[in-house]
Amino acid sequence: MNTKIRIFLNIALTFLFTFTVFGVKSPSKSRNISSKLTNSDFYYDKDRYMNSEQWQCGTTWNLGLARVASESFCWDKATLYNMCCAVHDDCYKLHRDKDNCDKHFCKCLDDATQWKVSVCFDALKNFACMIVVNYGHKAYEETWEPENNIQYTPALNQTAKKYYMKLYTACPDIEKTLSNCAYNHLICHLQMLPDRYPHTYEDCVDQVIECLDQSSLILVDNFGSCRAAVEGAMRAISLDAEHSGFKVLREAKGPSKWYAPKVIPIHIQD
């Protein structure tokens, strides 16, 4: 993301995190592998929750949102805001319609904070939207340099991981979004958010499928190798869940309206 835009967003989202007046349900204080982190835990163990290399919204991690988020009521929203910024970056990188990119970014912030009614969310979230709408033109027009994003995969079986890794080759221009979809699945799988967040196996699988589905509608052409790879990955993830005896969202929704291969030969490996 362009440096000036990052600075403005860093200011806006810092206020967004900091001035929340409503608290959240206290997470479990258990420290086993399936525990949720408390605010205090997050401050001292933030890398376990949100890696600095994965952060997309601020100018720096240690001096930016991380410290503010760790000390505020909304530390658990960091990955959701990060996802909004990742998709917006890739949308600009692909030179999709700027107004549409900005519209989806603002809606993403709305969706991430819909459980909050504090005035800070309305005023400062709108400020963040205003920044990208009014000051994003230069960033949109610039040529984006390749980035060394970490290629995360969801915490699923080897077949699903194999299909997910194919996405990075088939869809190199949305690597940042793909990485964040997988990273957020890991956060869900490790149950590192408060108890009010859904974190069952099915919830986490639904989350990564929905992340791929919704972001690809914005970023991926209706046809082509990337679209086929996205559908193949979602199908593999869904079959992994089915193989484990779970019903997930993808099967309930049916195939994508854009690309629906009749047969995807996927053999499940534990």
Q: Each residue of 67-123: pLDDT tens digit?
A: 454 445 566 677 888 899 899 999 999 999 999 999 999 999 888 777 654 444 566
At residue 97, the pLDDT reads 94
DSSP one-letter code for 266 = -
User: In whole angstroms, what is the distance from residue 87 CA to residue 112 CA?
Assistant: 14
Tokens of 4: 């000036």
Tokens of 62: 């240690």
Alpha helices (H) along the chain: 3-18, 39-44, 46-49, 65-70, 78-93, 98-112, 119-135, 137-141, 158-170, 175-189, 201-219, 225-243, 249-253
How wide is the angle at C-alpha 56 spanned by C-alphas 54 and 58, nearest 5°? 120
Tokens of 121: 């969310």
Neighbours of 255 (CB within 10 A): 15
Residues of the chain with pLDDT under 50: 16-46, 59-67, 69-71, 117-120, 252-268, 270
At residue 177, the pLDDT reads 95
What are the residue ranges spanned by the domains of the chain? Answer: 3-141, 158-253
Provide the CB-side half-sphere exposure for 89 (13 A, CA): 29
Residue that the structure tokens 């699988």 belong to: 205
Contact between 188 and 199 (Cβ < 8 Å) = yes
